[in-house]
Amino acid sequence: MAPGAPSSSPSPILAALLFSSLVLPLAQAIVVYTDKEVHGAVGSKVTLHCSFWSSEWISDDISFTWRYQPEGGRDAISIFHYAKGQPYIDEVGTFKERIQWVGDPHWKDGSIVIHNLDYSDNGTFTCDVKNPPDIVGKTSQVTLYVFEKVPTRYGVVLGAVIGGVLGVVLLLLLLFYVTRYCWLRRQAALQRRLSAMEKGKLHKAAKDSKRGRQTPALYAMLDHSRSTKAASEKKAKGLGESRKDKK
């Protein structure tokens, strides 16, 4: 680079402007959430949930708009609008007398209920939220399927199967631990009974041994007393005879 030539590196101001142009819109983008799909039966009602996230406080000018695109159709029509704290149901279309507002902007909820479902209601519903100054963001879509009878979802069946298997496993574990506890308790009682029997046998053997040691002594004492008595009687008899001889 030649001396005095201007620097080719970006200036701090340009870098800041570039950063703000890329990051700030992303930070302020509103995010809308709906279910991917909902199912309903003919003649029943269904709730189309819509919630959002915004980096701004809830504005008095917040608005919700619901649009409907029939199954196989190309164009979407507006069926509901909420603005300035008031719900507005479009006076055209098949939903004009069947939509009910159940949302609450303070809870970031823009849900609606569709009553008296019919097969012709199959299609895609789009929820759009504006929370000035946070108005940049993508909408969210939910697909409605109307059936004669709402089919059981695969996830519900799978959950029921998993729950049943877990229940059986827990029941088997419970039975195992109860059986093991009863067996251990029975073994402990049997051990205590055997210990008591062993102690009784030892005590009885000790008594028999002691009694066996005392029996010869008793016999010896009896023999001694008999011998002493016989000697006394013999001596008394001899004295009596000597007295007769003297007379």
Question: CATH number, domain at 47?
Answer: 2.60.40.10
Residues 131, 94 within the same domain? yes
Measured CA to CA in angstroms, residue 83 lies from 33, 56, 64, 89, 172 at distances of 19, 17, 7, 11, 58
pLDDT at residue 228, rounded to an integer: 74
Domain C-terminal end among 125, 147, 169? 147
* Residue 240 within a domain: no
Structural contact between residues 55 and 166, judged by C-beta atoms closer than 8 angstroms:
no
- How many structural domains is the chain composed of? 2
Asked whether residue 134 falls in the same domain as residue 178, the answer is no
Mean pLDDT of 186-200: 83
Q: Looking at the domain assignment, is residue 120 inside a domain? A: yes
> In sequence order, what are the beta bridge partners of 114?
46, 99
Domain shared by 143 and 157, yes or no: no
* In a domain? residue 62: yes
Identity of the residue numbered 183: W
**88 within a domain of the structure (yes/no):** yes
Residues 77 and 135 grouped into a single domain: yes
pLDDT at 187: 87
Tens of pLDDT along 94-150?
898 899 999 999 999 999 999 999 999 999 999 999 999 988 888 999 999 999 887
| Phi, psi dihedral angles at 55 (to 5 degrees) | -80, -10
Residues 143, 120 share a domain: yes
Q: Span 204-223, mean pLDDT?
A: 64
Owner of token pair 């950063």? 19
Residue at a domain's end among 100, 129, 147:
147
Maximum distance among all Cα pairs of the chain, rounded to whole angstroms? 180
More confident residue, 45 or 228: 45
- Predicted confidence (pLDDT) at residue 14 exceeds the cutoff of 50: no
- Which residue among 147, 165, 183 closes a domain? 147
Domain for residue 128, yes or no? Answer: yes
**Could you tell me if 69 and 172 lie in one domain?**
no
Distances (CA, A) of 183 to 172, 175, 178, 188, 190: 16, 12, 9, 9, 10
Is the domain of 68 the same as that of 118? yes
The C-alpha atoms of residue 49 and residue 103 are separated, in whole angstroms, by 8
What are 143-174's pLDDT values in tens digits? Answer: 999 998 876 654 565 577 788 888 889 889 88
Start-to-end C-alpha separation, the chain = 177
Residues 78 and 173 in one domain: no
Residue 100 near residue 79, CB atoms below 8 Å: no
Cα separation, 143 vs 116, whole angstroms: 17
Rg value, the chain, Cα: 52
Q: State pLDDT tens for residues 102-114.
A: 999 999 999 999 9
Q: Between 197 and 236, whose confidence is greater?
A: 197
In-domain check, residue 15: no
Same domain flag for 72 and 86: yes
Number of alpha helices (DSSP H) and beta strands (DSSP E) in the chain: 2, 12
The overall average pLDDT reported for the chain is 80
Q: Are both 35 and 93 inside the same structural domain?
A: yes
Q: 192: domain range?
A: 153-205
Residue 164 in any domain: the answer is yes
How many whole angstroms separate alpha carbon 118 and alpha carbon 124? Answer: 14
Same domain, 74 and 91: yes
User: pTM for the complete prediction?
Assistant: 0.54
The verdict on 134 and 191 lying in the same domain is no
Residue 191 falls inside a structural domain: yes
